A = this chain, B = another copy of it.
Amino acid sequence: MTAAAATAIAAAGASLPAVALAQAAAPAQAPGFYRYKVGDMTVTAIQDGFFRRPLEGFIRNAELPAVQAAMASAFLSTSAVEISFTTMVVQNGSQITVLDTGNGDSGAPTSGLWMRNFRAAGYTPEQVTRVIFSHFHGDHINGLRLKDGTLTFPNAEILVPAPEWAFWMDEARMGAAPEAMRGAFAAVRRVFAPIASNVKQFQPGAEVAPGITSTAAFGHTPGHCVFMISSGTGKLMFMADTTNHPALFVRNPDWSAVFDMDADVARATRRRMLDMVAAEKTQVHFYHAPFPATGFIAKAGNGFELIPVQWTSSV
Given A82-B312, A311-B291; A93-B30 close (CB under 8 Å): no
Q: Does A69 contact B (CB under 8 A)?
A: no
Given A34-B30, A74-B307; A113-B22 close (CB under 8 Å): no
Instruction: Give CA–CA (A6, B206) in the complex, Å.
Output: 45
User: Number of residues in A with C-beta < 8 Å to the partner?
Assistant: 61
Contact B313 A50 (CB under 8 A): yes
Tell me how many chains of this kind the complex includes: 2
A127 touches which of B18, B29, B155 (Cβ 8 Å): B18
Stretch from A118-126, A167-175, A259-267 at the B interface: A118-126
Given A28-B315, A30-B31; A75-B309 close (CB under 8 Å): yes
Stretch from A41-49, A139-147, A193-201, A268-276 at the B interface: A41-49
Contact A292 B311 (CB under 8 A): yes
Give the contacts of A1-50 with B (CB-CB under 8 A). 17-19, 21-35, 42, 44, 47, 49-50
Extra 13 A-B pairs, beta carbons < 8 Å, given A25-B123, A26-B42, A75-B307: A17-B94, A22-B95, A25-B121, A25-B122, A26-B35, A30-B32, A31-B31, A32-B313, A75-B281, A75-B309, A84-B311, A290-B311, A292-B311
